[in-house]
Structure 1
Amino acid sequence: MAVLLAALALLPGARLPRTGPLPEPKPETATESPSVQPEKKPETEAVPEAKPELKPDTPPQASDIPTPEPKPKPSETSATPSAEKFGPPPPPLEDQKPPSPAEQTLEEQHLTIEPESDADHAECVKELQSLGVVFRETPRIDDGNGCGIDKPIIVSQALPGITLKPEATLRCPTALALAQWMKGSVIPAASVALPANGGITTINQASAYICRLRNSAETGKISEHARGNAIDIGSFSFNKGEPVEVRSRREDSTLTGAFQRTVSAAGCLYFTTVLDPESDAAHETHFHLDVIERKGGYRYCH
């Protein structure tokens, strides 16, 4: 207790020192820029480093220029796209289409002669002989460009006593159709319509085998005459009276007109094509009769 009292007695005389302790100097690195604090950058999202922009007058580096792919060689390319990738090629232009026979001459069509079966020809010849047709066989005809007959015959009488004038070079099936038409239709029609004329003696033919196009045109399909399949009939001669000429008889009310119309219509029973003077201007003076084969057995008769 005595010590405490002594300490309290000394406190009024105690005083603080005039100056406090001096701070020691900071290290040398800290005194070079004591008043400048480093600027803190704001926190941002990380972005990829931008490529330096090239100045207009600075040439680009070789690494910055894309290398062009080499062009394919002509042999590696095709004129049209692949059908697997782009579908079928487009149809050819009009001027690239091959011309049709209607636009071609006979020489441009590159036709060949149709061959005939030996067995069929032999059977046909046998039928001609049974009907009494007068004919002779002749060597193969080849006039080029598809004109010709493989097994031609020359007919001088269409039936016994009925002359074919002039004699006609034909294929055997054409001669057979002519004989059957005459026997089955023409002779009976003449005996009914023109009995006073005494029967037919001559068939005056205007054309048989000849190398040409249809209607003797410069371009178009080959004529059946050029294959031995056709014969043109201009008139019929009788024992008496004037010949019956084939001409337009649509309005002919006589028995002669009836005879011509009858044999024209009956022709389609034997031939696959019958064109008469009522068909067109090219047939104003004759019958055109041919045995061309068509799909389905179709026949064209006018």
Structure 2
Amino acid sequence: MRRSFPLILLSLLILTGASLPKHGPIPIEKPPTDAGAEEAVPTPDKKPAAPADDGKGATEKGPTAANGEQPVPQPKQADGDEQSTKDKKPPADEKDQRADEKKDAEPAPAPIVYPPVETENAAEYAKCLTDLKAVGATFVEAKRIDDGKGCGIDKPLEVTSILPDVTLAPKGVMRCETALALARWTKEAAQPAAEVAFDKNIKIKALNQASTYICRLRNNATSGKISEHAHGNAVDIASFRLSDGTTIAIQPRDEDGTIDGAFQRAVTASACLYFKTVLDPGSDAAHETHLHLDVIDRRNDYRYCR
């Protein structure tokens, strides 16, 4: 132990003398930059400065939105485009435009001129009244009818019965010529047919009518010729009421093998001897429930019976 102490002391003295010098080496200066200023070292987490504003609310890259984002650039309009855009209107459809031009070019349609109410021949009318009274019809002379549009009767009659025991239900308005043809047909054709078809004691007590005078077009259409009802020339018979209380209704009976069917076909055929036009349920859909009878004049006394 005594021998090792001097060795330990010598080692401490050697270690103490091996400390660093008081002044280290002087570092060499870095050469200056071209601008003579220090180079800024960018900071990774710091955003670059925004470009300077020119005082007009826009930078070199365009206007800045309120949220700081750069807006999408819009195409510039050429000079005068703004005004022309305001003046432009969507073009009209060429077809409609041509139709409008054609419509403007066409003249306005001429107003419809309706014929006046036909005046009755005084002599013929007087003879008709005499014959109608002789057959036993009940009627009164009514005031002249002029409803315009070609509708009217110069000397209308209001008929309540066409024979002494045969009423017209309900009463109807017509010309004397129409009433006389209806009375003669009932007396000379329909009544004998009822006696043959049903019984010799059976009599027709009423003609149930569906229409006499009315201002309308044919078949109640919205266009076309005026109806003969509008001139007082027509009457529609819907059924016959017999003395035994039976009613024979007019209906499609071309293939009806009953006695009612035979009676209807017989009176329909005979009506064409008294009227110029006879339309039954077989003629068209508009006459499926009645017989249309009218006295319209036709050339060469032609008859239209269907």
Relative to the length of structure 2, the TM-score reads: 0.63
RMSD: 2.1
For residue 209 of structure 1, the aligned residue among 207, 213, 217 is 213
Give the 4+ runs in structure 1 shifted more than 6 A: 95-99
Take 1:143 and 1:169, find their aligned partners in 2: how far apart are those partners?
A: 14
Take 2:272 and 2:202, find their aligned partners in 1: how far apart are those partners?
A: 26
CA deviation string 1:72-119 (max 9, x = no partner): xxxxxxxxxxxxxxxxxxxxxxx98999xxxx9xx8352211111111
User: 5 Å matches for 1:132-211?
Assistant: 132-195=136-199, 198-211=202-215
* Map of 1:252 onto structure 2: 256
Take 2:303 and 2:128, find their aligned partners in 1: how far apart are those partners?
A: 21
Contact 1:201 1:239 in 2 (8 A): yes
**Residues matched between the structures, number:** 202
* Corresponding position: 1:240 with 2:244: yes
* Map of 2:223 onto structure 1: 219
* Map of 2:290 onto structure 1: 286
* Corresponding position: 1:121 with 2:121: no
Letter in 1 for 2:155: K
Take 2:195 and 2:215, find their aligned partners in 1: how far apart are those partners?
A: 36
Letter in 2 for 1:232: D
Work out which structure has the larger RCO, using CA pairs closer than 8 Å and 6 or more positions apart in sequence. Answer: 1
- CA drift of 1:241 comes to 3.9
Contact 1:174 1:228 in 2 (8 A): yes
Letter in 2 for 1:135: F
Q: State the percentage of identical aligned residues.
A: 54
Take 1:286 and 1:121, find their aligned partners in 2: how far apart are those partners?
A: 28
Gaps of 5+ in 1: 1-94
Letter in 2 for 1:165: A
Letter in 1 for 2:224: G
Relative to the length of structure 1, the TM-score reads: 0.64
Give the direction of change, closer, same or farther, for the CA distance of 1:212–1:238 in structure 2 (3 Å limit). Answer: same
Take 2:165 and 2:107, find their aligned partners in 1: how far apart are those partners?
A: 54
Take 2:257 and 2:219, find their aligned partners in 1: how far apart are those partners?
A: 30
* Corresponding position: 1:112 with 2:90: no
* 1:264 match: secondary structure: helix
Contact 1:157 1:164 in 2 (8 A): yes
Take 1:96 and 1:276, find their aligned partners in 2: how far apart are those partners?
A: 43
Give the direction of change, closer, same or farther, for the CA distance of 1:252–1:146 in structure 2 (3 Å limit). Answer: same
- CA drift of 1:199 comes to 1.4
Gaps of 5+ in 2: 1-104
CA deviation string 1:144-180 (max 9, x = no partner): 1110000110110011111100101000000000001
Letter in 1 for 2:183: A
* 2:272 match: secondary structure: helix
* Map of 2:278 onto structure 1: 274
Letter in 2 for 1:224: E
